[in-house]
Amino acid sequence: MFERQSGGTAAILVGLDLGRQGYEESLDELKLLASSAGIDARVVVRGRRERPDPSTFAGRGKVEEIRQALEQFGARLVVFNHELSAGQERNLERSLGCRVIDRTSLILELFARRAKSHEGKLQVELAQLEYAATRLVRGWTHLERQRGGIGLRGGPGETQIEVDRRLIARRVKTLKDKLVKFRRQRDVQRRSRSRGRVTSVSLVGYTNAGKSTLFNCLTKAGVLSADKLFATLDTTTRRVYLPGAGAVVLSDTVGFIRDLPHSLVAAFRATLEETVQADLLLHVVDAASPTREQNIAEVNKVLEEIGAESVPQILVSNKIDLNGTAPGLERDEYGKISRVRLSAKTGDGVETLRQALVEAIASRHPSAIQHAALHTA
């Protein structure tokens, strides 16, 4: 079944229904990922299987359908909405005569394009190398040959794949050492903020939920905000003054996504530590998204993975201008603010969020309010 798309590199998208929940939503997300990476998705090839084919994931008949689509639409790239093994990727490329990538590769490529800071680039490179280390067989036709003899880098009897693994391992160690230094610098900054009784607030949420737009609205920071997945990859931190609460450090973080590659969760742990160390999380949700509840669950799952599940959070239902919801706030059974409805784009409800922040900080850190009052006086 073909579904025509439009937009860079001409590609065929492949999404197979394996009977799991969220198939359509995952496919829509793949289209957004492709578009954000500058890929012109000419067509989507769909199908249904009980389980992946061990050799090609899609099966012989579906591979032939993909090959016909490549010829019909003039594409030279195939993007699978699944994680392929190195063998499946190699077999598909041999059968189709073009480059084949999976969802994880696409996300890694997108991260590599979007990272701006030195630390962000190091984290992306680390994730790419750790991913490549598991797929070294791909593309090599000489792996069974041994390298040996005087003056050869590999040494007597060392195969090419062993050389590659050793080089990758060496680079991975270098990257991890550099990232540790960045982590230590952030630890010093956090201890300084702690001594100064500065409350730390992190914006988290599903990618494209509007975190950066809200961050700009609260801080006037001018951070890139765009209707693209992973528009923000590097954590940006700004100090904001809230009347009644004093100085607050606000951090904008990378957005989460379904099936986020574990290599990226690990590589970006240093960046996400801003979330773990925060006093309060603003969990930004796209209120107009039909999958908002699933997105909330996915974000909470990743927060649990990085050890931030116990950090207090306020849900921020953003983009209410798209669904006609009125701005306001909701409280839980204990009277604490649990949700704020707003539009970061129009500004409606943003002042309510500021008031909610002051109230939340006062309930958790009354000493910080007293400290702010003294300085105001």
**Whether residues 358 and 211 fall in one domain:** yes
- Does 45 map to a domain? yes
Q: Which residue has the higher pLDDT, 37 or 68?
A: 68
Nearest to 105 by CA among 123, 87, 126, 132: 132
CATH number of 22's domain: 3.40.50.11060
Does residue 368 lie in a domain region?
Answer: yes
Do 197 and 95 reside in the same domain of the chain? no
Residues 213, 320, single domain; the answer is yes
Interval 262-309: pLDDT, tens:
666 666 665 676 677 889 999 999 999 988 998 999 889 888 887 888
Q: What average pLDDT does this structure show over 245-262?
A: 80
User: What predicted TM-score, i.e. pTM, was given to this entire model?
Assistant: 0.73
Domain check: are 200 and 310 in the same one? yes
> Does residue 56 lie within any of the structural domains?
yes
Domain of 25, in residue numbers: 2-101
Residue-averaged pLDDT of the chain:
81
Please state the domain count of the chain. 2
Which CATH number fits the domain that encloses residue 269?
A: 3.40.50.300
List C-alpha distances in Å: 100 to 13, 109, 234, 274: 10, 13, 28, 35
| pLDDT grade for 139, boundaries at 50, 70 and 90 | very low
Residue 136 predicted with pLDDT over 70 = no
* Boundary residue ending a domain (60, 79, 101): 101
Same domain, 67 and 206: no
Same domain flag for 93 and 216: no
pLDDT of amino acid 73: 95
Tens of pLDDT along 22-35?
A: 788 889 889 988 98
- Whether residue 165 is contained in a domain is answered as no
Do the domain assignments include residue 262? yes
Whether residue 227 is predicted with pLDDT greater than 70 in this model: the reply is no
| Domain endpoint, select from 101, 134, 159 | 101
pLDDT tens-digit readout, 89-105? 999 999 999 999 999 88
Q: Which of 48-57, 146-155, 345-354 has the lowest mean pLDDT?
A: 146-155
| Position 149 pLDDT exceeds 60 | no
Please identify, among 53, 75, 101, the residue that sits at the C-terminal boundary of a domain. Answer: 101
Say what the pLDDT of residue 116 is: 72
Q: Is residue 257 part of a domain?
A: yes
Q: What is the DSSP letter of 314?
A: E
Burial of 325 per CB tally in 10 Å (0-12, 13-18, 19+): middle
Domain-located, residue 158: no
Q: Which amino acid is at 263?
A: S
Q: What's the rounded mean pLDDT across residues 62-67?
A: 97
Are 364 and 245 members of one domain? yes
What does residue 11 show for φ and ψ, rounded to 5 degrees? Answer: -145, 160
Q: Higher model confidence: residue 235 or residue 247?
A: 247
Tell me which of 273 and 369 has the higher pLDDT. Answer: 273
222 and 329 together in one domain: yes
Note whether 135 and 113 are within 8 A (CB): no
